[in-house]
Amino acid sequence: MRLGQHFLIDRSIVDSIVSHADLGLEDWVLEIGPGEGILTRELAARAGRVYAVEIDPDLAASLCNTAPNVMVIHADALTVRLPQYNKIVSNLPYNISSKITYRLLSRPFDLAVLMFQKEFAQRLKAEPASKIYGRLGMVAGFFSHIEILQNVSRKAFRPVPDVDSAIVRLRPRTERPQVDPRAFMRLADILFRNRRKKVKKGLAAYGVDKMTLAELDQSLINMRPEELTPDQVAGLILAIEKKSDWV
């Protein structure tokens, strides 16, 4: 295992991932952590272009002649300037799941089919007020519609990990409230740093003054962060911005 990555070896799972992505020659696909290229080759056979971002120099070198429509980017997916794409299809490295998911969610895309650890996938799709709902579920639920398509046995990977995985499909929410994504993600982060405290405490840490707090929906700001839906959080941001503009 290199850099925390478990390599997918089950071709039936590869076929399932590619099928869910509904690829055509008009699609430009981003793949994070292609590893040995088992998924990359299938993506290249169906998509117009594939950008494979691989941090491991040896793996990146071995992928360079995969297909004419595959561009290998030897870089850290968390920091590199990402290319233009419309779909994301990846067996994501476990050790960057959270950070890369937050980065990808805030960027435009048409469809994403991603493999996560099963527990991570469940937290991604978690509903407000559930025990596993947190920052991840709030942010993911704000940006996208989430489907857990299929559970995947740990035996589908080499080396065998300690946990099972799941294939998840994300579709952007076109109907979501129009707030600055950076503001939403910042507030979600602040709220769940102190998830046991009331929302008004998090808003104060976000920079909202007492006068503005008094004018917000008191039923919302006296809730706990895990009780709020993503759209309620977005609504609070819009209300705060409106008060600031008025002042």
Q: Nearest-CA neighbor of 139 among 175, 182, 109, 110?
A: 182
The C-alpha atoms of residue 50 and residue 68 are separated, in whole angstroms, by 10
Per-position b or e across 201-222, b if 16+ CB within 10 A of its CB:
bbbbebebeeebbeebeeebbe
Handedness of CA 25, 31, 36, 38 (dihedral sign): negative
For residue 164, say whether it is annotated as part of any ligand binding site.
Answer: no
Please list the helix, strand and coil fractions of the chain in percent, rounded to the nearest 5, in that order.
45, 20, 35
Please tell me whether residue 96 adopts helix, strand or coil conformation: helix
Alpha-carbon distance 43 to 38, whole Å?
9
According to the annotation, is 76 in a ligand binding site? yes
Query: What are the structure tokens assigned to 180, written together?
Result: 């600055």
5: burial class by Cβ within 10 Å (0-12, 13-18, 19+)? Answer: buried
54 is in an annotated binding site: yes
The answer on whether 78 is annotated among ligand-binding residues is no
146 contacts 168 by C-beta, under 8 angstroms: yes
CA distance 167 to 93: 13
Which run of H or E residues covers position 73?
strand 70-74
List, as residue ranges, the binding site. Answer: 6, 8, 33, 54, 76, 91
Annotated binding residues for S-adenosyl-L-methionine: 6, 8, 33, 54, 76, 91
